Chain A
């Protein structure tokens, strides 16, 4: 079954404690991306990756890091989380260099206290 898997689904952490949200896809897609979704602000792209070792900033990259060492994995790293990073996060992978159908993960609800 084609899928994008994010972990964890829910996370409560404290300010400043480094965390990683994992994302893995089994469709051999080249394009992967991370989004955050906030009430009233909609879905905003954090980072995207066109292929292994190729990443670029989206609209809201501040406070986040990503890496793409393997095609299937695209982890999101928060080096020093702050309360304003409390949000619902989605990972997605897309065929056709990002123009085709995008498959989204189930979401990770992060709370930073």
Chain B
């Protein structure tokens, strides 16, 4: 069973059409949840860290929220340059491992 599940696997939006990406996790003792953006052929780029349920963070058109079992990445009025794969990762328990979900491929059409 995957410990971090992202949905949908792929999402196609029109420019300006807001939507949300989901990251659900089954680990206990969450110590941090991370969102990254990855463009083709490049390394992931850090977006946010969330630590506790109820926490929210924003950056330009992106807003990340966290509950006890999932996180959402809300994209408001997306632009074509927001097209990328969005990755979620968690750290939990007493170790320092980082476990990623498989990502959501977002395509924003002009």
Interface residues of A (CB under 8 A from B): 4, 31, 33, 35, 40-45, 48, 50, 56, 58-59, 90, 92, 97-107
Verify A44–B100 contact, CB threshold 8 A.
Answer: yes
> In the complex where A42-B103, A100-B49, A105-B43 touch, is A48 in contact with B32 (Cβ < 8 A)?
no
B17 contacts A by Cβ under 8 Å: no
B45 contacts A by Cβ under 8 Å: yes
Residues of A within 8 A of B99 (CB): 45, 59
> In the complex where A43-B87, A99-B49, A106-B43 touch, is A56 in contact with B103 (Cβ < 8 A)?
no
Partner of A107, one of B31, B43, B46, B87: B43
Verify B102–A45 contact, CB threshold 8 A.
Answer: no
Q: Digit string of B91-110 for contact with A (CB within 8 Å is 1, else 0)?
A: 10001111111110000000
| CB-CB contacts below 8 Å: B1-47 with A | 31-32, 34, 36, 41-46
Verify A90–B43 contact, CB threshold 8 A.
Answer: yes
Residues of B within 8 A of A101 (CB): 46, 49
